């Protein structure tokens, strides 16, 4: 790799790694270590092709989606499920109830199936169109639609605070930092 390409890659990683790590945490169901591994693999794959990539962020996101789907396929039966420890909130009443809702939503995302979680993350947190989600997950658009419908119904059952009027479009993205989950 040429020095200029190497510098461009380093600059890209410095600027976008936090957002990409947030996406990886959502895709891995909150497992910070698995998310770091997922992002590292995607960055390694991108580094080798950096000079030929036209849209680096889109390329890295696609590598992460596909890598995670491959992990799910390989690990059909997993004996353990890792769950991040969530911090207590000490904010005002409104902020506390909002934090509680976010924590409940975060936990509910972890209880969805892997495919359901992928569809919810890609459709509503990444705001991708159904056709693009279908292409990334290598399934028909109808499967994305039905999975999104069932996933949102399950989230409303798991988190009643969302209510029947709680539409996915109203969900705010979660971010994972060293201090815990924040909005």
- Give residue-wise pLDDT tens across range 70-115: 877 766 545 555 556 655 544 444 555 677 777 887 888 888 888 9
Contact (CB, 8 A) for 181 and 83? no
Q: What is the per-residue pLDDT for 102?
A: 78
Contact (CB, 8 A) for 8 and 50? yes
Query: How far is it, in rounded angstroms, from Cα 57 to Cα 10?
Result: 13
- Give residue-wise pLDDT tens across range 16-43: 999 999 999 988 888 889 899 999 999 9
Q: Which of 44-48, 75-79, 175-179 comes out lowest in average pLDDT?
A: 175-179
Element (H, E) at 175: strand 175-177
Q: What is the per-residue pLDDT for 175?
A: 43
Report percent pLDDT > 70 for the chain: 74
Contact (CB, 8 A) for 174 and 183? yes
Query: How far is it, in rounded angstroms, from Cα 110 to Cα 25?
Result: 11
């Amino acid at each position: 790799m040429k020095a200029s390409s190497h510098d461009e890659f380093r600059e890209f990683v410095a600027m976008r790694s936090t957002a990409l790590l947030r996406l990886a945490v959502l895709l891995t169901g909150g497992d910070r270590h698995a998310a770091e591994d997922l992002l590292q693999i995607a960055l390694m794959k991108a580094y080798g092709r950096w000079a030929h990539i036209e849209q680096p962020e889109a390329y890295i996101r696609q590598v992460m989606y596909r890598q995670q789907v491959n992990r799910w396929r390989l690990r059909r039966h997993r004996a353990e499920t890792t769950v991040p420890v969530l911090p207590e909130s000490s904010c005002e009443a409104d902020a506390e109830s909002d934090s509680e809702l976010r924590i409940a939503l975060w936990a509910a995302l972890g209880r969805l199936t892997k495919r359901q979680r992928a569809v919810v993350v890609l459709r509503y947190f990444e705001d991708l169109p159904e056709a693009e989600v279908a292409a990334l997950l290598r399934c028909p658009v109808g499967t994305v639609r039905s999975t999104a419908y069932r996933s949102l119904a399950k989230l409303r059952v798991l988190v009643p605070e969302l209510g029947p009027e709680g539409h996915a479009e109203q969900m705010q993205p979660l971010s994972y930092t060293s201090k815990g989950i924040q909005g």
